[in-house]
Every structure is written in C-alpha cells, then in structure tokens.
C-alpha cells in the first residue's frame, strides 16, 4: 500500500513537471510578452529595462529554470492588472468556485446515484423510464441556456431567488463562505443546480449501467440463492462494486467542474475563478493565466490521487496488485 502511494506521488510530480514546461512554452515562449507589458510609445530604455527586469534577455532554458524555481517557492508573480500577488488573488477567488462546484457535484451524486440505481434495479418501471428520459435532457441541454432559463423563471418571473452574485458570506478559517448563510444558499441554489444537471445525468447513467451489470452477475445470483433479500444484496454486495466507476467519475467531474465552471459563473456573475480567468485572458494578464493553469493541473492531480486511494480502499485487488 505504501509503495503504491509513493509510486502515485512520484507520478504526480512527473506530471507537474511536464505541465509546467507546457505552460511555460505556451504562455511565455510564444509571442512577445513585452508588447503587453509596456505602452507602444515607450522609449527604448524603458523597453530594455523591462526586458532585463523580467529576464527575457536570458536563454530559454534559464528562463524556464527561473520560472520553475519561483513556482516552487510559491511565487507566481504579480498580476499586471490587479497589481497584487497572483497567488493571493486566486486564493481570494477559489472559495467561491470551490463551494459552487462542491455543492453541484456532491448534490448531483447524492441525487443521481440513487435514481440511477433504482433505474438499474427496475429497468422496466415507469419511474425508471422517466428518470432515464430526464437524464437525456440533462445531457443534451446546454448549460448557458438552462442558466438563462432558471434566471428567467425563478428570478425574474417568480422572484423567488436572486439572479446573481454570492449573497451574504461568513468568514470561517479566514475565508468568506456563502454556504454558511441562508442568503448565501439562496444565491447558490440556481448556479449549483445549473452546473449539476449534466453531472446528475452522468451519475444516473453510470449508476444505472453499473447496477444493471451487477444485477446480472453471478455473485448477485449466488447471494440471492442464499436467500439474502434484494435490499441487502444491493447495499451489502452491489453498492461497493459499482462505487468503483462512480468514484472515478466523481473525481473527474469535480476537477472538470472546478476548472470549467466558467460559463455558469459568468451567467450568474458568481465571483469565482472562472470569471477571473476569462477576465485575465481578455486583458492578457499572463501571470494569472499561468497560475490558474498550474492550479487546475494541481487540482486534477490531487483529485486523481485521492481517487486512486479510494480505489485501493474499495477494491482489494488494487491493493494487492503489483501496479
């Protein structure tokens, strides 16, 4: 088990190194960053001075080395636009995205998995067909459209819920959270629901497929031949087996939702990372883009790492395997 963890950790480090190289090439080595940094009418002196200050006169490998060294030290540079340390800027926006995606993905799982399991257990029931039909909608309706529709329905027409923003926040562990206030929740519900519909549909499909397959498997047949009731077969035998693919999807979706909540955040003017990255791309705020990309890569790796650990906890064959 320890060997397994160490191996995964080393892989994670290797991936981070590759990502940093890609990000460096993509953001720093292509195009001329000087043109963004200084005004077009700046003098040659200012120009040379800026080049020297940012190290653009040095060979590429040395620039990369400097880049990595400062990354490791936690120095992502300063935002050109906000003129504050990037790390601080991102961390100030992260909680908003974090709570939005966590609520969306966890909600999708809590609702989607039981629905999918039921649809897999009773594939011919009317309710199951309704669930599967609804999941097709969840898959195919575009997020921005659902978001706009929700705003029109619940915020404009009915006036039940606010159309955007984060609402009241409460500070906990030095960070502002909306999930801790009722007003915050009323702001959170619509964007979280918008974001979770696709994930819910995915969870329903996955849970149903797993359930269908498991119910036909020999171990379920054997368990039923032992006189174990269907409820105990499902929760005692099947659930742990079908959790394995569900955990994978949960992890991937958590990371993907966090990284790409852009559309939903924009529609509901949710002040999260997605909005920040869109703004910084428009203003060519390179340090922010770099830090964001590195952060997203880091999140993916950490989540995959956790998924691997969850695998090992769920499946004894992974634990004792030589992989």
Binding residues for another protein, per CB under 8 A?
A: 124, 217-219, 221-229, 232, 236-237, 240-241, 244, 314-317, 320
Task: In whole angstroms, give the CA distance from residue 81 to residue 283.
Answer: 8
Beta strand 170-172 with 175-177 is: antiparallel
Min CB(248)–another protein separation in Å: 15
Min CB(256)–another protein separation in Å: 27
Min CB(308)–another protein separation in Å: 16
Could you tell me how many helices (H) and strands (E) the chain has, helices first?
A: 15, 2
Q: Which is nearer to another protein, 90 or 220 (CB)?
A: 220
Q: Which is nearer to another protein, 211 or 276 (CB)?
A: 211
Q: Which is nearer to another protein, 132 or 291 (CB)?
A: 132
Q: Which is nearer to another protein, 59 or 316 (CB)?
A: 316
Q: How far is CA 193 from CA 183, 202, 226, 268, 321, in A?
A: 16, 14, 42, 12, 40
Min CB(119)–another protein separation in Å: 15
* DSSP, residue by residue, 153-220: IIIIIS--S-SSS----EEETTEEESTTSHHHHHHHHHHHHHHHHHHHHHHHHHHHHHHHHHHTSHHH
Q: Which residues contact 194 (CB under 8 A, 6 or more apart)?
A: 143, 146, 147, 150, 264, 267, 268
Q: Which is nearer to another protein, 13 or 216 (CB)?
A: 216
Min CB(255)–another protein separation in Å: 25
């Amino acid at each position: 088990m320890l060997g397994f963890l160490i191996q995964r950790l080393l892989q994670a480090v290797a991936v981070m190194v590759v990502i940093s190289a890609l990000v460096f090439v993509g953001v720093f080595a292509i195009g001329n960053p000087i043109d963004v940094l200084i005004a077009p009418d700046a003098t040659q002196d200012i120009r040379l001075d800026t080049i020297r200050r940012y190290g653009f006169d040095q060979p590429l490998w040395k620039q990369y080395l400097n880049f990595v060294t400062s990354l490791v030290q936690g120095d992502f540079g300063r935002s050109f636009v906000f003129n504050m340390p990037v790390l601080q800027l991102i961390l100030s926006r992260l909680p908003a995205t974090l709570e939005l995606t966590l609520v969306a993905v966890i909600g999708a799982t809590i609702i989607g998995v039981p629905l999918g399991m039921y649809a897999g257990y009773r594939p011919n029931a009317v309710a199951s067909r309704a669930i599967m039909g609804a999941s097709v909608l969840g898959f195919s309706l575009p997020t921005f459209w659902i978001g706009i529709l929700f705003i029109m329905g619940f915020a404009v027409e009915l006036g039940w819920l606010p159309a955007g923003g984060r609402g009241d926040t409460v500070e906990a562990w030095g960070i502002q959270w909306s999930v801790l206030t009722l007003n915050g929740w009323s702001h959170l519900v619509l964007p979280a629901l918008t974001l979770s519909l696709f994930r819910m549909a995915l969870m329903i499909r996955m849970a149903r497929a797993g359930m269908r397959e498991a119910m036909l498997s020999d171990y379920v047949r054997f368990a039923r031949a032992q006189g174990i009731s269907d409820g105990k077969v499902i929760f005692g035998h099947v659930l742990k087996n079908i959790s394995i693919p569900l955990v994978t999807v949960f992890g991937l979706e958590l990371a993907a939702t966090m990284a790409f909540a852009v559309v939903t955040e924009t529609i509901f003017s949710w002040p999260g990372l997605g909005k920040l990255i869109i703004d910084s791309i428009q203003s060519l705020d390179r340090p922010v883009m770099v830090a964001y990309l590195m952060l997203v890569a880091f999140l993916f790796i950490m989540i995959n790492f956790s998924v691997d650990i969850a695998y090992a906890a769920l499946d004894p064959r992974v634990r004792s395997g030589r992989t």
